[in-house]
Structure 1
Amino acid sequence: MTTPRDLLIVSMDVPSERPVEQGDLSLALAGAELADLLAAGAAGLDGDRVVPLPRRDTGDRLLDQAAASFDDRPPYESVADWLWRRGEGLAGAYIDALDAEGQLTGRRHRWMPARGDRKAPADTPARRAAAERWSSHDPVIAGLAAAVGIETEPGAPLTAPDDDALVTVLATVNDAVTELEAVRQRRRIESAAFDNIWRAP
């Protein structure tokens, strides 16, 4: 299994104080893809720019799509710009992929798109592997999960990866999720103000 797939399973299995927003998860899944592609040698970082390296198949369709989406012309794309572009609708794509592979069962999860029934992870080796990675406090999974509001148990360590490129990815995911929440807050305020105008005598 890949980091994005593990992250999706963790997001469905581990309780959180607030529902996971699908937009936040999509950004985190894009960050998980980038982390895997960096580890696979399919990309590198030059500062905050994603530099594609000679293509190699990862064996995962969605990861291969992610690698194919890199801007291959200098000055290349920033990590933040790539996350926003790649992340659009990505949670739904991963849900559909796991569903098609028989990794999900039952009805769709509470934050999943309305189409279809509610789903949850099936009891599969993939789910057990994701749970083991989570319980081992893997810094990439833990950092991405924290970005979307899923915290490790109290007292559990949250350590940074020992790779500067991965630290950059995690920090950029956090910044993007924070920015997205600010956009949601602004829209809620504007909507409330608009409603108050119409309700005013």
Structure 2
Amino acid sequence: MTTPRDLLIVTMDTAAGHPVEKGDLSLALAGAELIDLLGTRAVRLDGVLIVPDDDRPAPADRLMAEAASSVVQDEPYESVTDWLWRRGRGLSAVHEAALEEEGLLARQRRRGLSFTAGAPELVESPARRRAVDRWKSEDPVLANLAETVGVRGDRTGDTPDVADDAVATVLAAVSDAVVELASVRQRRAIDEAAFDNIWRGGV
């Protein structure tokens, strides 16, 4: 299992009724990928720059292999923040599709004028149970990423601290990126509201 997959499963499992913003989740998934790459020493951080290790074999997981292959290989290396925005674009849909391909998600068929596929739902599986167990064990990385996108579940205490400096750097960058994206959404909403007011005023 991988941290991105666990994060997506936990988010879908615990965020019912409180949808997570897809953009926020995509940024967090990109951070989760990078943390796993750090864990396997496929990359290391030089300050905030991501430095690849060409001698490491490609990860067995398909999406993690794609993430590893997308790391900038030459100097000047990419920053963690730049990685999040580039790799994170549309990443939640990519990971969701992978879960569906593996049979970990199912779409309920809705009866109407025609049968249509509803929203994807998690099915019972060992992968789901492992992700939930990791969540309940207060895994610091998973807890921090989930809280960044607005998922706390039943937890009421403080989010566990992360001891690894490189991982902490990635988590901080994810948090900053999510805050920045929220600001962008807010500005866009204000601009759209102002535009609507102009039209309603007959201008």
- Fold in common (TM above 0.5): yes
The aligned residue for residue 38 of structure 2 is 38
Percent identical? 54
Q: Highest CA radius of gyration, 1 or 2?
A: 2
**Gapped regions of structure 1 (runs ≥ 5):** 109-114
What does 1:42-121 correspond to in 2, within 5 Å? 42-54=42-54, 55-107=56-108, 116-121=117-122
Partner of 1:112: none
Q: Structure 1 residues 162 and 43 mapped into 2: Cα distance closer, same or farther (>3 Å)?
A: same
Question: Equivalent residues in 2 for 1:48-197 (5 A)?
Answer: 48-54=48-54, 55-107=56-108, 116-197=117-198
- 1:29-68 superposed Cα distances (whole Å, 9 cap, x missing partner): 0000001000001000000111111241211111011111
Cα displacement (A) at 1:188:
0.2
Q: Which amino acid counterpart does residue 26 of structure 1 have in structure 2?
A: S
Q: TM-score, normalised by structure 2?
A: 0.91
**Structure 2: runs of 5 or more not aligned:** 110-115
Code of the aligned partner of 1:120: E
The letter for the 2-side match of 1:71 is: V
Residue identity opposite 1:137 in structure 2: E
Of 94-103 and 145-154, deviating more is 145-154
User: What is the rounded CA distance, in whole Å, between the counterparts of 1:9 and 1:2 in structure 2?
Assistant: 11
Moved more, 38-47 or 117-126: 117-126
8 Å CA contact 1:16–1:149 kept in 2: the answer is: no
Over the aligned positions, Cα root-mean-square deviation in angstroms equals 1.7
**What is the alpha-carbon distance in structure 2 between the residues aligned to residue 107 and residue 56 of structure 1?**
39
Q: 1:129-174 CA deviation, whole Å, 9 max, x = no partner? A: 0000000110100100011000143433411211000000100000
The separation in 2 between residues aligned to 1:120 and 1:56, in whole angstroms, is 34
